[in-house]
Every structure is written in C-alpha cells, then in structure tokens.
C-alpha cells in the first residue's frame, strides 16, 4: 500500500511538505505543490481520513463534559447538542462526571484531548466546574453552558433569570401577593439565577420575598418541603425551581387535602414531558433544548472559524400555562 513517505520520495520532498499540501496549507511554493500533486496522482495515493485528522486536528469531533446528576435539564442539553452536532457533520465524545473537582475535570479533559477533539463544551452544573477548568491549558476552544453569563469563558445558555421572572410575574398577575420559592441546591448556577429572577420580580412589584425553601432537584425533596408547607399559612402560590420538585409538592398537598390550584397555585420550571400529565397539569417554564443545542453548535463554529464571541449567548424561555395556577383563594371567594 502506498503511504505518505512513498509520495515524499517520489516528489523529492519531506513528508511534512506532503502533509501541508494534503491539508491545503498556503506555505508551500507552487512548483513544489505541483510536484507533490503529480506524485500523488502517479502513485494513486489516497490518504486515510484518520491520518489527515491527526495532522490537521480536523477530526470533526467535539468533546462534551457534563457535571452533576443526570437530571432532565442537563441530559436534554446533551441530547440537543448531539443532534445539532450531527446536523453540522460533527461527532461528539462525552465525558460525564458526578463531581466537579479539579482532579476529575483534569482527567476528563485529558481523555478527550487524547482523542484529538477540535473543541470542548462544558455543561457546568455549578461554580466548581468552572473553577476547575479555569486554569487548565486546553489548546482547543472551549464553550461553556452555564447560566450566569458572567464568566470569562465563552458561554451559551437559556436565560434562567428571565424564566424565573416570567413564572413569578404570572403568579403576581393572577393576584398572588405571597409567592414562595422552592429553590434548587445552593451550589447550582441555575438555581441561583432562578432565585435571582424570583427576587427581582417581587422587588419590582413591591412584594416581599419570604424565606425560601431549598430542595435538591428531586421529587422527594419537593414532597418533604410540601409536607412542611402543609402546616404553614399565609402563602397562596409557589414557584418551584424545577418540575420534579413541583411533582413532589403536588403529592404532599394531595396527601394533606390541599387543593391545587384552588388553595395553592404552583408553577414549575423546565416543562419536562410528564409535566402536562401531572394532576393537575403543571403550568411551567419551557426550555427549548433543541434551540440551545443549535446555539451551542453555532457558537462553536464561530469560534472554530477564528472569530471572537464577546457576549454571552442566551436563548429565551417560554411560559406554558396549564391548570396548576389560578387566582388566590380570597379573589375566588369574592366572585
């Protein structure tokens, strides 16, 4: 089988020069390029795709790192990005990490770089993930999927702040004045942005932000918070930071004989497929993960083309109205 050395010998050049010709680099004199191309034709040389990729790093492969639990949001982001990458004729190699420690991050990066990925995408569940990769010498472009948009990294996300503001505004427009928030874990970037949106909308309307409840994204934590809330008074609505915890709230309230939305209104976040089939169907904030995947890929292609992305890219969420939220009990009693 003819190899690159045979072509180099026939053309009277080094194999590096042949590589530069194969990869259409300009730093080859026209006469030399012509000799190499003539040798390639005479020997009927066909370079392997793998060999060309190793030389040029044009492997059309992206490394994807995901941190944290395999929850609906991050998992859907991964699926959305994989689909967008395939449509752009790229393949994706995935490294999933339960923790965001520096050691685990370095190991994941090393594994992906050994596979000659052209770029990296990091789906960051918390600030530790960003800190862990901050000092790593990558040698390839990096795009982060993180919702704060306030890091030095090129970042893409869905606007969590805006989504939380929409949820809170909807409840306030229905007439609620005591709107609680069931938050995700304190270390979560998304949870922090959703809390910030809830507080900002209440402040803009002159409403007080009561002490919030803290869950861990799972339905069981929503159920436990709901059990505690069932013994409380003075609130008429809850904005839950995700749909899974909202499901736990619905379960706890049902057990306690609290009707939704007649006694308490609930709005979730994510619009997971099951949300439309909760009892009652859940009003929630939809995140378009297909659009997010396309935004990530478009940003990556911009960076790979040598162009700078100076501002965080944020897709907009959407309020989906179903039957878990209505006016406060006092307003209904007056009708």
| One-character DSSP codes across 261-284 | TTT-EEE-SB--GGGGGSSSPPBE
| Last residue within a domain, chosen from 56, 77, 93 | 56
Contact (Cβ atoms closer than 8 angstroms) between residue 201 and residue 161: no
pLDDT at 25: 58
Indicate if the pLDDT at residue 54 is higher than 50. Answer: no
Strand partners, 319: 285
Same domain, 270 and 294: no
pLDDT at 180: 98
Same domain, 154 and 164: no
Same domain, 173 and 294: no
CATH number of the CATH domain containing 195: 3.40.50.2300
Q: What is the per-residue pLDDT across 81-131, written as a single tens digit (0 to 9) for each?
A: 999 999 999 999 999 887 777 888 888 888 998 888 999 999 998 888 888
Q: What is the per-residue pLDDT across 208-252, written as a single tens digit (0 to 9) for each?
A: 999 999 999 999 999 999 999 999 888 999 999 999 999 999 999
Same domain, 142 and 101: yes
- pTM, full prediction: 0.81
Same domain, 295 and 149: yes
Same domain, 325 and 312: no
- Angle between the N-to-C axes of helices 160-173 and 189-204, in degrees from 0 to 180, rounded to the nearest 10: 40
Same domain, 191 and 85: no
| Last residue within a domain, chosen from 28, 56, 84 | 56
Same domain, 137 and 101: yes
Indicate if the pLDDT at residue 182 is higher than 50. Answer: yes
Domain that holds residue 173: 160-287+320-333
Same domain, 29 and 66: no
Of the ranges 105-109, 185-189, 197-201, which one carries the lowest mean pLDDT score? Answer: 105-109
Same domain, 109 and 190: no
How many domains does the chain contain in total?
3
The residue ranking higher by pLDDT, 258 or 20, is: 258
pLDDT at 213: 96
Same domain, 153 and 297: yes
DSSP secondary structure, 102-149, as one string:
HHHHHHHHHHHHHTT-SEEEEE-SBHHHHHHHHT---SS-EEEE-SS-
Classify 288 as helix, strand or coil. Answer: coil
**Burial class, 155, CB count within 10 angstroms (exposed 0-12 / middle 13-18 / buried 19+):** buried
CATH number of the CATH domain containing 22: 1.10.260.40
Per cent of the chain over pLDDT 70 is 93
Same domain, 191 and 268: yes
Classify 7 as helix, strand or coil. Answer: helix
Q: What is the per-residue pLDDT across 276-302, written as a single tens digit (0 to 9) for each?
A: 999 999 999 999 999 999 999 999 999
Contact (Cβ atoms closer than 8 angstroms) between residue 110 and residue 140: no
């Amino acid at each position: 089988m003819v190899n690159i050395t045979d072509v180099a010998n026939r053309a009277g050049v080094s194999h590096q020069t042949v590589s530069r010709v194969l990869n259409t680099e300009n730093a080859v004199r026209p006469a030399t390029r012509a000799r190499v191309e003539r040798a390639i034709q005479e020997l009927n040389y066909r370079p392997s795709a793998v060999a060309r990729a190793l030389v040029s790093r044009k492997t059309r492969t992206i490394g994807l790192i995901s941190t944290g639990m395999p929850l609906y949001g991050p998992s859907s982001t991964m699926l959305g990005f994989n689909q967008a990458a395939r449509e752009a004729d790229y393949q994706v190699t995935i490294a999933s990490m339960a923790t965001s420690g520096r050691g685990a991050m370095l190991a994941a990066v090393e594994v992906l770089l050994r596979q000659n990925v052209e770029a990296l995408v990091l789906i960051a569940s918390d600030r530790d993930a960003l800190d862990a990769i901050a000092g790593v010498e990558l040698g390839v472009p990096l795009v982060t999927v993180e919702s704060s948009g306030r890091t030095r990294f090129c970042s893409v996300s869905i606007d969590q702040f805006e989504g939380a503001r929409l949820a809170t505004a909807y409840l306030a427009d229905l007439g609620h004045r005591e709107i609680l928030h069931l938050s995700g874990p304190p270390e979560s970037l998304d949870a922090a942005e959703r809390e910030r949106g809830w507080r900002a909308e209440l402040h803009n309307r002159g409403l007080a932000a009561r002490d919030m409840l803290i869950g861990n994204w799972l339905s069981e934590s929503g159920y436990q918070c709901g059990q505690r809330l069932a013994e409380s008074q003075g609130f008429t609505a809850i904005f839950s930071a995700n749909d899974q915890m909202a499901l736990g709230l619905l379960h706890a309230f049902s057990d306690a004989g609290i009707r939704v939305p007649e006694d308490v209104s609930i709005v979730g976040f994510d619009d997971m497929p099951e949300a439309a089939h909760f009892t009652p169907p859940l009003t929630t904030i939809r995140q378009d993960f297909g659009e997010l995947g396309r935004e990530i890929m478009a940003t990556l292609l911009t960076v790979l083309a040598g162009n700078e992305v100076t501002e965080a890219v944020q897709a907009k969420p959407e309020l989906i109205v179903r039957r878990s939220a209505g006016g406060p009990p006092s307003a209904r009693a007056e009708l």
